[in-house]
Amino acid sequence: MRVRTVATAAFEDQKPGTSGLRKKVARFHTPHYLENFVQATFDAVRPPAGAMLVVGGDGRYYNREALQTIVRIAVANGIGRLVIGQGGLLSTPAVSHLIRMRGAFGGMILSASHNPAGPDEDFGIKYNIGNGGPAPEAVTESIHECTRRIREYRIADTADIDLDRLGSQRVGGMDIEIVDPVADYAALMERLFDFDRIAQLFRDGFRMRFDAMHAVTGPYASEIFERRLGAPAGTVINSIPLPDFGGGHPDPNLVHAHGLVQEMMVEGGPDFGAASDGDGDRNMILGRGSYVGPGDSLAILAANAHLVPGYADGLQGVARSLVTSAAVDRVADKLGIAHYSTPTGWKFFGSLLDAGLISLCGEESFGTGSDHVREKDGLWAVLFWLNILAATGRSVGDIQRAHWAEYGRNYFTRHDYEGLAADEIVAHLRARIEGAEADPGHRAFEFSYSDPVDGSESHGQGLCFHRGEGERIVYRLSGTGTEGATLRVYIERYELPEGALDHDPQAALAQLIAESRRIASLDRLGIGAPSAIT
Ligand code: VG1
Ligand code: CO
């Protein structure tokens, strides 16, 4: 095997964002672009000779080619073993589980998650550390540093490996193991949830629809819901992963999973509906005629965790990203356990999970997870809901209404404004925060986070404007887009149990929404309606 050292020049745009490096496919096609990033990652994390890595992706366009390149660079860098999902497929939570189960040094996930795929769309790559979770900021900063300093990369001249043949292959001194992407993950789910009880629910005629959106969860969902739990064929729709996700936008929310939402909102629709995103770490939960927002979903899972075998011994604590609604905090207070708020991005939950401070965590962006892996996990959340429905015999809508009646409701919405001159708005909001200090009723601050386990600090994580008790608006810029800037505005208001609990969030939050536009001077800047509302 010949290993070449290739001279290269640094690219200035390889700073990992909220969740890895995401760019247009064309950018990744630039000669040396992918190679530089992979070599820089190895330079930063320095895998010991013979180290094991787990690699897989969401099956999007460029997944297979990128994998072949990673194999060549890995062998040239002395990696001892690569564990790869068959066909190059592994969901993000499945990578996390495999890293942990196999005691791997780390892993690489090829995905731009919920971003569309295809020759003109997005690709992404993300490094996960030995705990199975996304690289923390210290590591992503060091990767970024290495991308700026890189002068050469090492690559082996080897033939393509066979990504579809299960079992072992050898490339130079490196073992390649092609594994079934689903088996170990499905076994983990069987250990956490009461599959017998859920299967009984399906035998009793319970109807579910799961939309895999032609992304990575199709094979997982078909195996788990239809084969292991006995749900009727057709329960899982759009189940074949496609390189362009069927032309869709694999983002499980009311906008992009519109067909599923419509089916759920009619009389006689299925009892339960769910969807996941490109790489399988997000989830959306629906009942017949009802929709569960991610903040409520996290709170409801926490409040009912004792019904689920994997969590029957109780929760250590819970965490949410700051911009997620505070609904779960109320549950934690009632349970007498700690709750934490972190910056946006799953990497911030890792240390809390590793230290055993929390058992469940979630984000408003349709991400929910627990200490079973170190990523958010879409199918896990769906199974958690199914387990609760099976254990209580109640409907999604009933459970949600009962939850609000007990804890009150955190009305929540996120308004996204795409393609903005973001710097100007952020500067303006920062100035507002300074000016607001004089006004005692209106607390305003920029969120900085200090990790309670390792003390690491992260600044500039959100511009927060608190209005009355339980009312707030938070602004931050997206760190996952590949074109222009996106301003995310998170709006929340708490309603007491005896208050009006059944309103549409857009109506219930109308005043605060108007206020969110005033604070950021969006009208004055000529910025119209948001591009997306979730
Ligand atoms: C978004 C979400 C964030 C999530 C991230 C990755 O980031 O807001 O909550 O962790 O995507 O999710 P941003 O920086 O664009 O707001 V995924 O499913 O893309 O791995
Ligand atoms: Co995702």
Segment 326-338, tens digit of pLDDT: 999 999 999 999 9
Ligand 1 nearest-atom number relative to CA 278: 18
Cα–Cα distances in Å, from 63 out to 60, 183, 244? 6, 21, 11
Cα–Cα distances in Å, from 26 out to 29, 33, 61, 373? 5, 10, 11, 33
Q: What is the pLDDT of residue 254?
A: 86
Is 483 exposed, middle or buried (CB count within 10 Å of its CB: 0-12, 13-18, 19+)? exposed
* Per-residue pLDDT at 111 exceeds 90: yes
Using pLDDT thresholds of 50, 70 and 90, give the confidence band for residue 479: confident
Q: H helices within 77-112, ranges in order?
A: 92-102
Q: Indicate the top mutation candidate among 18, 22, 373 to test ligand 1's pocket, ranked by most ligand atoms within 8 A of CB.
A: 18
Handedness of CA 227, 233, 236, 239 (dihedral sign): positive
Instruction: Please say whether the beta carbons of 336 and 315 come within 8 A.
Output: no
Q: Residue 106 is which amino acid?
A: G
Note the pLDDT tens digit of each residue in 23-47: 999 999 999 999 999 999 999 999 9
Using pLDDT thresholds of 50, 70 and 90, give the confidence band for residue 525: confident
Which residue owns the Cα nearest ligand 1 atom 19? 113
User: What is the CA angle 517-488-340, rounded to 5?
Assistant: 115
When mean pLDDT is compared across 314-318, 421-425, 492-496, the lowest value belongs to 421-425
* Per-residue pLDDT at 436 exceeds 80: no
- Between the CA of 349 and the centroid of ligand 1 the distance, in Å, is 13
Using pLDDT thresholds of 50, 70 and 90, give the confidence band for residue 441: low
In the chain, what percentage of residues exceed pLDDT 70? 99
Q: What is the pTM of this model?
A: 0.95
End-to-end CA, the chain: 52
User: What is the CA angle 376-382-384, rounded to 5?
Assistant: 90
Query: How far is it, in rounded angstroms, from Cα 34 to Cα 18?
Result: 19
User: What is the CA angle 160-175-168, rounded to 5?
Assistant: 80
* DSSP-based helix, strand, coil % in the chain, nearest 5: 35, 25, 40
Q: What is the mean pLDDT of residues 113-124?
A: 94
Q: Where are the beta strands (DSSP E) in 38-102?
A: 52-57, 81-89
* Per-residue pLDDT at 438 exceeds 60: no
* Per-residue pLDDT at 435 exceeds 90: no
Using pLDDT thresholds of 50, 70 and 90, give the confidence band for residue 364: very high
Using pLDDT thresholds of 50, 70 and 90, give the confidence band for residue 481: confident
Q: What is the pLDDT of residue 201?
A: 97
CB-CB neighbours of 457 under 10 Å: 9
Q: What is the pLDDT of residue 108?
A: 98
Query: How far is it, in rounded angstroms, from Cα 144 to Cα 40?
Result: 8
Q: What is the mean pLDDT of residues 371-379?
A: 98
Torsion angle in degrees (nearest 10) through CA of 198, 204, 209, 215 = 40
Q: What is the pLDDT of residue 368?
A: 98
Instruction: Please say whether the beta carbons of 59 and 118 come within 8 A.
Output: no
* Per-residue pLDDT at 467 exceeds 90: no
Pocket of ligand 1 (CB under 6 A): 18-19, 113-114, 277, 281-282, 344-346, 363, 365, 367, 478-480, 488
Note the pLDDT tens digit of each residue in 42-86: 999 999 999 999 999 999 999 999 999 999 999 999 999 999 999
What amino acid positions are annotated as catalytic residues? 113
Q: What is the pLDDT of residue 440?
A: 63
* Per-residue pLDDT at 407 exceeds 80: yes
Q: What is the pLDDT of residue 403?
A: 98
Report the number of secondary-structure helices (H) and strands (E) in the chain: 17, 26
Using pLDDT thresholds of 50, 70 and 90, give the confidence band for residue 390: very high
Tokens, residue 59: 């099956």
- Between the CA of 481 and the centroid of ligand 1 the distance, in Å, is 9
Packing angle of the helix pair 327-335, 396-407 (nearest 10 deg): 70
Note the pLDDT tens digit of each residue in 225-270: 999 999 999 999 999 999 999 998 999 988 888 899 999 999 999 9
- Between the CA of 382 and the centroid of ligand 2 the distance, in Å, is 15
Residue 395 neighbours by CB under 8 Å, 6+ apart: 271, 287, 288, 290, 389
Note the pLDDT tens digit of each residue in 197-228: 999 999 999 999 999 999 999 999 999 999 99
Q: What is the pLDDT of residue 18?
A: 87
Instruction: Please say whether the beta carbons of 487 and 417 come within 8 A.
Output: yes
- Between the CA of 468 and the centroid of ligand 1 the distance, in Å, is 28
Mean pLDDT of the chain: 95
Q: What is the pLDDT of residue 439?
A: 63
DSSP of 142-186: HHHHHHHH--EEEEEE-PPP-SSS-EEEEETTEEEEEE-TTHHHH
The 10 Å CB-count burial string (b at 16+, else e) for 229-264 is: bebeeebbbbbebbbebeebbbbbbeebbeebbebb
Is 500 exposed, middle or buried (CB count within 10 Å of its CB: 0-12, 13-18, 19+)? exposed
- SS3 label, residue 268: coil
Which residue owns the Cα nearest ligand 1 atom 17? 113
Query: How far is it, in rounded angstroms, from Cα 58 to Cα 90?
Result: 6
Which residue owns the Cα nearest ligand 1 atom 11? 480
Instruction: Please say whether the beta carbons of 294 and 396 come within 8 A.
Output: no
Q: H helices within 204-345, ranges in order?
A: 217-221, 258-264, 294-304, 327-335
Q: What is the pLDDT of residue 365?
A: 95
Place of tokens 């550390």: 129
Of 90 and 443, the structure prediction assigns the larger pLDDT to: 90
Instruction: Please say whether the beta carbons of 350 and 358 come within 8 A.
Output: no
Strands 21-24 and 122-128: antiparallel
